[in-house]
Structure 1
Amino acid sequence: MLFKTLNIDTEKEDRIINAATKVFAENGYKRASTNAIVKEAGISKGILFHYFKSKKELYLSLYEHLSDMFAEKIYDRLDMEERDIFEIIRQVSVIKFELFSTYPDLINFLNSVFHESDPDVKDEIDKIRGTLTGSSFSKLFSNIDAGKFREGIDVEKAIQVIYWTFEGFANQQQAKASSMSVADINKEDILAELDSYTELLKKSFYK
């Protein structure tokens, strides 16, 4: 990850991250201007391009950096001793809601990346997302209590189906959230819908 390898002082790095997050979130990749980013950050264009070779490199580095930061904040609050897959998924969902309120600019940026279709960055976004998703899957579900599943169930496949279900649900909610403010998101309604899927899947897979 480029941000971790660069020798930028913390204050300057924060200004670049905050400015780029805001400008990319508001404009998308193609329409975002490096002139607007350096103006927002209060730095020269020469300084920005000293650290990043191009707008594309800045954008992808920012996406990877903020995704990692978001994941770390989830893991910091998550009960890593929990072994029930449905409890883990619900915990993650509740933590995400808390982070949405605390870091609205970060969420707006990640939402904008989720919907980004510019061919100049789309393939790289998908590669980064795939790597991050694989890492998260491994970290969250490596110690699931297999004893809760019914006899004859292929536990690995069941976990994959459960993960795909809630990943699709999360993507659906993310798409809805892109057209509204954080304040308009009804946490209780979304959690109630999540719980309804949980009950359905428990009946299918649990004893």
Structure 2
Amino acid sequence: MPKRRTPKDPAKEARILAAATKIFAKQGYQHAKTDEIAKAADVSKGLVFNYFGSKGQLYVAAVRASYDRLIKNADLTVWSDSKDLKSMIVRATKYKMQMQIDYPDDFELSMAAYGEVGNLPKDVASQLNDIWSGKVNEMLPQMIDPVFKRLNLREGVSLDVVEQMMTAVSLLIGEESKGLIQANPNITIGEMQPVLDKVASYIDVLEHGILATAPKEK
């Protein structure tokens, strides 16, 4: 018969998650110790496992809580009120830098988790991928659909196709960002400028195409 877990004390649970967020962000999943997390939260190690079951599930809970806080406090109008795709990227980048300052532990953990997903236990990585895909599907339409609807699309161009292309660009940038994060877990948004420059280039090509308005003379 499975052991019944102790009912969670909200204050203790919050302390555990806060300690886990900070320690996982600084040390990564592999190097973080549950003993250290328990000590920082002023609870027993046994209580940590009683509340969360395992180190992996504590990690998932901490990442989910970080994403929830960032999303709850994010001003989506930074994206949705942008006049075009390029200005949206610029505005969003500057805003992310400010979010990094305002919510350092949550931002750092979200970046660290994304960067080290390939080195996590499969069940943990799977749950994180579900969190990311769920958040993207939930938030992306609110953020970018208003901008897309203001675009002066040429005749015959489908908004659905543009959205799919933007999603593809986002996935490509995500992979490039992940590589930088894996190489330097302490990287800041400011240090990711080369990737951000690529984003602007990709968006420019997406908006204006690859061909000149008039064909070259032979």
CA contact (8 A) 2:86 2:200 kept: no
Could you tell me how far 1:108 is from its partner in structure 2? 2.8
Matched residue, 1:136: 139
Residues 90-101 of structure 1 mapped to structure 2, 5 A cutoff = 90-101=90-101
Tell me how far apart the structure 2 counterparts of residues 27 and 103 of structure 1 sit (CA, whole Å): 17
CA contact (8 A) 1:84 1:145 kept: no
Matched residue, 1:60: 60
1:167-190, Cα deviation, whole Å (9 max, x unpaired): 422442343144064469446655
CA contact (8 A) 1:16 1:37 kept: yes
Give the structure with higher Rg (CA): 2
CA contact (8 A) 2:76 2:142 kept: no
Tell me how far apart the structure 2 counterparts of residues 167 and 90 of structure 1 sit (CA, whole Å): 18
SS in 1 for 2:165: helix
Q: 1:204 aligns with which of 201, 209, 215?
A: 209
Could you tell me how far 1:137 is from its partner in structure 2? 1.7
Question: What is the letter of the counterpart of residue 67 of structure 2?
Answer: S
Tell me how far apart the structure 2 counterparts of residues 123 and 81 of structure 1 sit (CA, whole Å): 34
Deviates more, 1:148-157 or 1:69-78: 69-78
CA contact (8 A) 1:16 1:38 kept: yes
Matched residue, 1:154: 158
TM-score, length of structure 1 as denominator length:
0.78
CA RMSD of aligned residues (A): 3.0
Matched residue, 1:108: 108
Question: What is the letter of the counterpart of residue 201 of structure 1?
Answer: L
CA contact (8 A) 2:76 2:143 kept: no
CA contact (8 A) 1:177 1:185 kept: no
Paired residue total:
199
Question: What is the letter of the counterpart of residue 154 of structure 1?
Answer: S
Tell me how far apart the structure 2 counterparts of residues 52 and 149 of structure 1 sit (CA, whole Å): 50
Where does structure 1 lack aligned partners over 5 or more consecutive residues?
1-5
Q: 1:172 aligns with which of 173, 176, 182?
A: 176
CA contact (8 A) 1:101 1:182 kept: no
TM-score, length of structure 2 as denominator length:
0.74
Could you tell me how far 1:24 is from its partner in structure 2? 1.9
Tell me how far apart the structure 2 counterparts of residues 78 and 7 of structure 1 sit (CA, whole Å): 37
1:146-173, Cα deviation, whole Å (9 max, x unpaired): 5511111122111220232134224423
CA contact (8 A) 1:77 1:95 kept: no
Q: 1:163 aligns with which of 138, 158, 167?
A: 167
SS in 2 for 1:121: helix
